[in-house]
Structure 1
Amino acid sequence: MNASIPVYRADGRLYDVVTERALARLQAAGLIARVVRHRKGHINRAILFVRPGEAPMPRTAYMGTRYSFKDHLEHGVCWDLKRLGGARWGANYAPDEVRPIFLQVVTDCLVRA
């Protein structure tokens, strides 16, 4: 079987697409941190170790921030902002009941030119 296996950098960016044979060489060289397998046993993807000279992954890359969350979309996962009212869904980031507080914080942050 000559399957194409995506290999990702430690920060989640796609590095390359390799064959099983090339993946075995990368594993033998000690470059692969983790191999993710399907429940039936075939390899879904591989993740590299952080390489020398690369910046370490920031904690917010995988934990998020206090005001963001991972939103699962039809075509993948992305980060989205939390709404002030506590709801995770919808387009209203500042509901009517918290809008005055939100606007006060924004005006307090403005700097006069």
Structure 2
Amino acid sequence: MDSLVYNHGKDALFTKEWIKGIAGMYLGAQGNPRDPFANPLYADLKGLSPLYIQVGGDELLLDDSTVLAERARQAGVDVRIDIFPEMQHTFQMAVGRAPESTEAVGRYVEWVKPKLGLA
């Protein structure tokens, strides 16, 4: 399945065309979308620090997030991914105004505190 297709129209911020346009600006005219320095899905993730991914269930980048989490796991990375149903890209910006956003930020705090020795 491809979340660029099945989540089309659900994410108010992103469209497939917008993502391609931003990627094109980032990569430049000669850029390779499979360059591991530009796209972590093609990078060697061994030795990466702990990784916490939050993604909305309605995001166009949902599949990219789940693939990244799985690739990181396979590389031995300590990874956690939380998928928030019906949420869109950058939903965490509504912290204090939307319960899902506040919960997401709280989950991150609880995840990161012991990693920083603050538990």
With the length of structure 2 as denominator, give the TM-score of the two structures: 0.24
The structure that has the greater radius of gyration is: 1
Greater length-normalized contact order (CA 8 Å, ≥ 6 residues apart): 2
- Determine which structure has the larger helix proportion and give its number: 2
Structure with more strand by fraction: 1
